Chain A
Amino acid sequence: MGDKRPRSFYILALFFSAYVLFLYGPMIAIYILSFQGPDGGLTFPMNGVSLTWFGKVFSGGGIVDIGAAFKRSLALGLVVMVITVVLSVAAGMAFRKPFRGATMLFYTAIASLIMPSIITSLGIALEFRLIDDFVNKHGADVGLGWLADGYTTAMGLFSSGLGAHLTWTLPFGLLIMFAIFNRFDGRLEEAARDLGATPWQTFRHVVLPIILPSVVGIGLFGFTLSWDELARSSQAIGSVNTLPLELQGLTTTVTKPDIYALGTLTSAVSFVVIFAALSVILVLQARQRRQGSDAGKGML
């Protein structure tokens, strides 16, 4: 390895550094600017250093009800995370056996991943609009009279909004499951079966502990994709807004650094969640290494 690096290495290393600078530069700028002094504006130079704008965000001073949007995004993200984990693991297990519709499901997931978000979003909005129209017009005829009274819409955070987010998170979950099971040693399950374990016991005590770190990864993807999701929520979320939608709305109206403070805060949440998940993954992997093999240790 001691050989001299070619000139192209240095050129590309420089190029790579420029790319990293390009990635980070602007973001660091807004993290810094969110600590702008009370009289400062949206650009440099800074006019003192303060926490004024964070205070503004928390007190809701002037701009939208951030607290409510924050809680909504958090709740939706957690529900999306749980559903994504459960459905992805189940489907991942299914794909290890041949079953009719496997190819179809796979291509549907890929299509859902690369479909322009606005189209998915529009379709879901349309679907719920049609449901609403139906209930309003024919609700009484088909015995849904109780529903039609005072009914406005079936759209909401946990109906259309949840569906929209799942069309985005599930393909990622499924692809991660494929990656996991591509290098999963099936002999471990056979061994468990030979020892008389039921399918559920095999899953619970053999498969799950092995795939757990990656399953945490799926949860992490599920939550962060939902937390930052914007395009698919835009039409499909109903009357309330998630945090990214509020942020997008603010970009056209707010001319004060409180939007940067909000940006810094939402980034901070992402970072906390990701580091928590990563440390869980590391702990799980360490545990696996410790308990991975007890051959010859006489543990009963």
Chain B
Amino acid sequence: MAPAASGLRKIAVRSIAWLQAGPMMLVFALFFLLPLVLVVIVSVWDYNEYEMIPAFSFRGYTDTFEGCVANLPELCTILKTYLKTLKLCLLTWGLTLLIGFWVAYFLAFHVRSKTWQIVLSLLCTIPFWTSNVIRMIAWIPLLGRNGLVNQGLIGAGVVNKPVEWLLFSEFSVVLALVHLFTFFMVVPIFNSMIRIDKRLIEAAYDAGASGWQTLVNIIIPLAKPGIVIGSIFVITIVMGDFVTIGVMGGQQIASAGKIIESRLSALQFPAAAANAVILLGITVLIISALTRIVDVRKEL
């Protein structure tokens, strides 16, 4: 009798768990998984100017890569766009990692009291309470033609007419992306660093390691999971971004996300979907390469 009763109990516990997790599963199924499947399916549909046609066709892809073979060795639009997106992504990633690592390092190893750690982290979080668009346009009064930076440069006699490339350029795009997303790098790296046993560092010091050796051989390897998680966040955001690149690039710079958006506004759903599949593929490749470096699962 007892095993049957405990079996029943197990079933009861499981079904309660299912009831509890069910609603969330349903939301993800309806608004995340199903849409993703549809993107893949529709990417191989046919289309004309005003509707999509449920018939198998690679037009979405062939249109996307139009002229890519014919124009070789000249790069076609799509490849150029992806290279540009990758370049912006790489620059942003490098800068956010550099800044994020040292900010996290300072908070984790140099700020000694817990209270100060909390206060300083909060200080870095507050800007996130302001919408991204506002944080972007906040650069205009600084970088614009008559902005503070130009006024300063002219006032100091460095240049005699306003520098034009400060705003609506790749420079301003990367600057805004770094401004918006560095903290996504700080949080996971800080999380990894705070778990490092301080005695390891003391041991390294006692064994005669220099500060640099300790950093390279102890801290960086142990902070790697955080670095990878932060990198995944920054890279996926920047690869798919079209808002920041749009606003800060003055709608002049093409990006992978921007292609999808403009295809969509032309109601070319299959073409947009094909581009989304390509973007998804590249993002997944980058992430799986990154997760191969460390086992991220252990960190979550």
Contacts and interface: CB of A to CB of B under 8 A. Distances in A.
Contacts of A118: 240, 242, 257, 260-261, 276, 279
Contacts of B142: 25-26, 29
A212 to B, nearest CB: 18
Interface string A4-24: 011011001101100110111
Contacts of B242: 118, 231, 234
Contact of B42 (A90, A126, A230): A126
Contact of B103 (A6, A9, A15): A15
Interface stretch (A50-58, A98-106, A290-298): A98-106
Given A116-B239, A122-B272, A228-B131, A99 B14 contact: yes
B106 A87 contact: no
B290 to A, nearest CB: 11
B135 interface: yes
Nearest to A100: B14
A129 to B, nearest CB: 6
Contacts of B190: none
Given A100-B14, A263-B131, A13 B36 contact: no
A267 B131 contact: yes
B179 A126 contact: no
Interface string B159-198: 0000000000000000000010010000000000000000
A117 B240 contact: yes
Interface stretch (A60-68, A183-191, A247-255): A247-255
Contacts of A286: none
Contacts of A175: 300
Contacts of B246: 248
B280 interface: yes
A157 interface: no
Interface in A96-123: 97-102, 105, 108-112, 114-120, 122-123
Contact of B144 (A16, A43, A116, A224): A43
Interface in B21-57: 21, 23-25, 27-28, 30-36, 38-39, 42, 51-52
Chain B's interface: helix, strand, loop or mixed, by majority?
A: helix
B141 A129 contact: no
B120 interface: yes
Contacts, number: 258
B137 to A, nearest CB: 6
A64 to B, nearest CB: 14
A126 B148 contact: no
Interface stretch (A138-146, A148-156, A164-172): A164-172
A228 B42 CA distance: 30
Contacts of A116: 236-237, 239-241, 257, 279-280, 283
B24 A125 contact: no
Interface stretch (B66-74, B76-84, B122-130): B122-130
20 contacts: A8-B211, A16-B106, A24-B127, A26-B142, A27-B138, A29-B142, A44-B147, A44-B151, A93-B20, A99-B18, A101-B18, A105-B25, A105-B28, A108-B32, A123-B276, A126-B42, A129-B52, A129-B269, A175-B300, A270-B129
Given A98-B14, A230-B131, A248-B133, 12 more contacts: A16-B102, A20-B124, A90-B21, A94-B19, A114-B232, A120-B35, A126-B273, A170-B28, A231-B243, A251-B137, A270-B129, A274-B129
The 9 closest A-B CB pairs, nearest first, are: A116-B240, A123-B35, A163-B31, A26-B138, A94-B20, A99-B17, A94-B21, A263-B134, A228-B131
